[in-house]
């Protein structure tokens, strides 16, 4: 899997920016790392969205469908979807709207909350998750250039940032050890 529009520059612009940063402002390691992460995000999102486009999905919509697939009943409150995917309620509403228009989810009243709404995955949604996941797995989520141990190391390095941001309690403080994944 390659970026949809390779830049093919004769130099690394982030490395060059780091050199200039050092000359003008001082240490550049944090700036270079952040800029690299942001560029990697752009590259991966572009690749994954291109791979998912034939399924009428973006990566955000795919994640929501996977979350519903992993849930016990195939349905979750929109607020829970936002919490688990770590996105704003407006983003969840837009995502569910698009998935509903595609026939991948349906909205139901939440029987536990008279005002709340559940998103429930449809049979069509389950089918598209299966087919899209096959393609993502075959493409190794765009990470074919890394060995398995490098992927684990990357995950661990980025987990430190996510813990510092307060996304979740560090493993040593959690009661639910052993329950990884989206849920």
* Tally of domains within the chain: 1
In the chain, DSSP finds a helix count (H) and a strand count (E) of 7, 3
CB-based burial label for 156 (10 Å; 0-12, 13-18, 19+):
exposed
Tell whether 98 is covered by a domain.
yes
Instruction: Report the DSSP beta bridge partners of residue 108.
Output: 118
Tell whether 159 is covered by a domain.
no
Instruction: Say if CB 105 and CB 124 are below 8 A apart.
Output: no
Residue ranges making up the domain that contains 97 = 54-150
Tell whether 90 is covered by a domain.
yes
Distance CA 116, CA 109 (A): 6
CATH number, domain of 100, equals 1.10.10.10
Tell whether 142 is covered by a domain.
yes
Tell whether 111 is covered by a domain.
yes
Distance CA 78, CA 69 (A): 14
**What is the chain's pLDDT, residue by residue, as a tens digit (183 residues)?**
444 578 899 999 999 999 999 999 999 999 999 999 999 999 999 999 999 999 999 999 999 999 999 999 999 999 999 999 999 999 999 999 999 999 999 999 988 887 789 999 999 999 999 999 999 999 999 999 999 999 999 999 999 999 999 988 887 765 654 544 444
pLDDT in tens, 32-80: 999 999 999 999 999 999 999 999 999 999 999 999 999 999 999 999 9
* Dihedral pair phi/psi, residue 20, rounded to 5°: -65, -40
> In the structure encoding, which two tokens stand for residue 53, read together?
């486009």
Tell whether 36 is covered by a domain.
no
- DSSP assignment of 121-173, as one string? E-HHHHHHHHHHHHHHHHTGGG-TTS-HHHHHHHHHHHHHHHHHTTSS--GGG
Q: What is the pLDDT of residue 9?
A: 93
Instruction: Say if CB 42 and CB 56 are below 8 A apart.
Output: no
* Sign of CA pseudo-dihedral 141, 142, 147, 153: negative
Q: From residue 59, how far is each of 69, 102, 113, 135, 146 by CA, in Å?
A: 15, 15, 29, 13, 21
Q: What is the pLDDT of residue 183?
A: 44
Q: What is the pLDDT of residue 182?
A: 46
Tell whether 83 is covered by a domain.
yes
Tell whether 113 is covered by a domain.
yes
Q: What is the pLDDT of residue 3?
A: 44
């Amino acid at each position: 899997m390659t970026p949809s529009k390779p830049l093919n520059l004769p130099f690394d612009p982030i490395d060059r920016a780091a050199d200039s940063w050092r000359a003008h402002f001082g240490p550049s390691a944090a700036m270079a790392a952040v800029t690299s992460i942001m560029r990697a995000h752009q590259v991966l999102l572009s690749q994954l969205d291109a791979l998912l486009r034939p399924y009428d999905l973006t990566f955000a919509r795919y994640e929501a469908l996977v979350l519903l697939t992993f849930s016990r009943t195939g349905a979750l409150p929109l607020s829970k979807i936002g919490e688990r995917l770590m996105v704003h309620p407006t983003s969840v509403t837009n995502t569910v709207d698009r998935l509903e228009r595609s026939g991948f989810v349906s909205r139901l009243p939440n029987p536990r909350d008279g005002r709340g709404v559940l998103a429930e995955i449809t049979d069509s949604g389950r089918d598209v998750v299966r087919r899209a996941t096959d393609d993502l797995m075959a493409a190794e989520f765009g990470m074919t250039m890394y060995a398995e141990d490098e992927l684990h190391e990357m995950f661990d390095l980025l987990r430190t940032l996510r813990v510092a941001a307060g996304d979740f309690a560090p493993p040593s403080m959690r009661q639910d050890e052993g329950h990884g994944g989206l849920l």
